[in-house]
Amino acid sequence: MKTSKAQQELTRTQIVRAAVALMVEQGYDAVTMKDIARAAGIGDATIYKYFATKERLLLGYFDWVAAEAVRASRHAPGFADYPLQARLQRLTDALLECLVPDRAFVDLARRILVKSPLLMLGDQLQAKMVLKEAVQQDLQHAVATWEIEPSDFLGLLSGLYVDYCFGVVVYWLNDTSEDAADTVRFVDQTLGIMVAALKSGLPDKLVQLALFVLRSQLARVMSSGAMAGVMSMVAPVRSPDAQRARAANAQQPAAPRARKRVKPASRGDSRG
């Protein structure tokens, strides 16, 4: 009998919650996958259909947290009318709210994952993908409501915000103030700065500057004698189809320059 997606998600959550409880109580090394499976009420082999290793199970916890945080933030009353800073604030708060009950486990997981840095690399991690998609939607909403200018780098900017979230978690783990007051203050201040920078267009300008510098350096390398020699060796390898395609592209007229958006006047505006 095929298991429904809802049942699979329920089983995955049961596994994660069982792992959290056991690892906090007994320690990471003392707990086996079989122990976790039995605590979750599933077969010893079934757990491997969801998580291949204990390290992957740690990442599964953060996948669960990311999904819960996005869901909670989106269900906040009046969320559809939230401006950008309020949207990012709600998502960051929801993330921390999910982590607070499991602080001991989060600290344990961080120390284990630091020893396996390859597991944390790449945008393919589910938690990163879920958060990045949510933030990109928030940035697109901000563009649509004229809070920020359109950008070719919304994906990059949303990825940077996800990295910022991981930084907030580390800050929170080291926060000894009462009720994590320092973390609350840190998030308020840094989000305000981030949104102000987005509204000013500064991130776009910095990315464009970086690309300009990169192109300039590449042009210098391409113009050097050594690079010219390499390119002359590569050129004969190009297929006739590729050469014809390049020639056809060269004959295409240049695309018109993008025009700056002009915000439409409100109905209440009067003309003299």
Same domain, 60 and 151: yes
Q: Which residue has the higher pLDDT, 170 or 220?
A: 170
Residue 99: inside a domain: yes
Same domain, 9 and 132: no
Same domain, 124 and 172: yes
pLDDT at site 5: 87
CA distance 213 to 228: 20
Same domain, 108 and 200: yes
Residue 258: inside a domain: no
Contacts of residue 261, defined as CB under 8 A and 6 or more positions apart, other chains included, come to 149, 150
Same domain, 145 and 199: yes
User: Residue 48: which CATH number?
Assistant: 1.10.10.60
Q: How far is CA 3 from CA 46, 57, 60, 242, in A?
A: 12, 20, 19, 49
Q: Which residue has the higher pLDDT, 114 or 15?
A: 15
Residue 133: inside a domain: yes
- Interval 117-133: pLDDT, tens: 666 655 458 899 999 99
Residue 38 sits in which domain range?
1-52
Which of 156, 186, 205 is a domain's end point?
Answer: 205
Which of 150, 179, 205 is a domain's end point?
Answer: 205
Instruction: Identify the band that residue 248 occupies on the pLDDT scale cut at 50, 70 and 90.
Output: low
Q: How many CB atoms lie within 10 A of CB 39?
A: 16
Q: How many domains does the chain have?
A: 2
- Interval 156-199: pLDDT, tens: 889 989 999 999 999 999 999 999 999 999 999 999 998 998 88
